[in-house]
């Protein structure tokens, strides 16, 4: 098993965090993993993306030129990266911010209103965790429990006040 995932959005939308949580969870589950971030110097508001490769065997290179799964949090990311998804792949779109769908007819496309759901949960900053919930449901790439543990580590200490909203966001598509 080898899965190549690509996450893209504007800095601050949490695309890199989603990829990192999946990568850390996969490591905890004993899988081979690479996580390769890419972002401009402006970070928040600029472009940000990362690749994650998860495999049950050694991974020779973290670079990918095609993806099994594409996750886009904004319109420029959909426009720029949808062509890299392999036929039969999966495309996850934050439909709260992307007013169009993918024109790819050879892929499974999931339109997830991440920001709207996160707003309803009381924390719009949890929109990336809503997307993560949909990814876990549709791909089964890692276990919910392992990701929950990563979220609990991420939102501890001074960030503990954000834990309940993020755990609620994780449950969005997994209940």
Spatial separation of the C-alpha atoms in residues 148 and 161, rounded to whole Å: 16
How many folded domains does the chain comprise? 1
The tokens of 116 are what? 């709207």
Rounded Cα gap, residues 16 and 27, in angstroms: 16
- pLDDT confidence of residue 12: 87
CATH code, 159:
3.40.920.10
**Domain coverage including residue 119:** 2-171
Q: Residues 47-98: pLDDT tens digits?
A: 799 999 999 999 998 899 999 999 999 999 999 999 999 999 999 999 999 9
- Percent of the chain having pLDDT more than 70? 97
Alpha carbon distances (Å) from 38 to 20, 49, 97, 125 = 12, 5, 21, 21
């Amino acid at each position: 098993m080898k899965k190549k995932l690509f996450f893209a959005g504007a800095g601050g939308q949490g695309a890199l965090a989603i990829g990192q949580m999946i990568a850390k969870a996969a490591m905890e589950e004993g899988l081979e993993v690479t996580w390769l971030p890419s972002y401009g110097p402006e970070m928040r508001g600029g472009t940000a993306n990362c690749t994650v490769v998860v495999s049950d065997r050694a991974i020779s290179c973290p670079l990918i030129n095609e993806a099994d799964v594409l996750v886009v949090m904004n319109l420029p990311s959909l426009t720029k990266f949808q062509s890299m998804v392999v036929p039969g792949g999966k495309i996850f779109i934050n439909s709260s911010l992307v007013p169009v769908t993918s024109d790819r007819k050879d892929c499974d496309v999931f339109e997830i209103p991440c920001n709207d759901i996160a707003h309803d949960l009381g924390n719009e900053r949890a929109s990336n965790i809503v997307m993560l919930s949909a990814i876990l449901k549709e791909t089964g790439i890692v276990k919910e429990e392992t990701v929950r543990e990563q979220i609990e580590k991420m939102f501890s200490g001074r960030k503990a006040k954000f834990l309940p909203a993020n755990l609620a966001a994780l449950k969005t598509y997994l209940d």
